[in-house]
Amino acid sequence: MFESGVVAIVRLNDYSTVDDIVGALVAGGIDAVEFTYTNPAAGAAIASARTAFPDSVAIGAGTVLDPETARAAILQGAQFIVTPTVNPATVALCTRYSIPTVIGAFTPTEILLAWESGATFVKVFPASSVGPRYLKDVLGPLPQVKLIPTGGVSVENAGDFIRAGARAVAAGSNLVDAATVAAKDWSTITERAKAYVAAVATARGA
């Protein structure tokens, strides 16, 4: 999962162009897209994207705070669940349905708790507060944990996070922002996606 090494986070007030957004990201080489539940239309967006792109991209639910929301998202077709914080009950629910999880954590204690709870990946958030060196330091005593930094990940620093040991990176407004979507400038989103994927690929090959 997350073969491209880039997870696109779509956090918008308007999900009416969901299929165009996902199409632009897929054209740029991204194979995982997360729709956040900060918008109650996230479930419908997930269902639409799964119908439009049944095989070329994994569609996930983000900002999932509890197992109830996780189950609702899974029923809408979510293929992975992302949380902002550690909630063992949510991990357990997803494990029951064989759904991969990206569990948000920050401190080493939280990171280990998420991993011991059964997280598939641990989301280090906000990554911009600590930078790539933090991941390298955490992975020293915890090399088994699969980390995905989120928050402030740019094209310029994505490779640094990968070289520090991240399994993938997640990007939000630096990749998909409201103004570009409102302008329906899908080619710009595609070019951003290509740049992220290329940065990760270069870092993985270093």
**Residues marked as catalytic:** 34, 123
* Helix locations, 15-131, DSSP H: 18-27, 42-52, 67-75, 88-96, 108-116
Residues with Cβ within 8 Å of 23's Cβ and at least 6 positions away in sequence, in order, are: 52, 53, 186
Residues with Cβ within 8 Å of 49's Cβ and at least 6 positions away in sequence, in order, are: 18, 19, 22, 33, 35, 57, 59
User: Tell me, what amino acid is at 98?
Assistant: S
Tell me how crowded residue 116 is: count the other CB atoms within 10 A of its CB.
12
User: Tell me, what amino acid is at 154?
Assistant: S
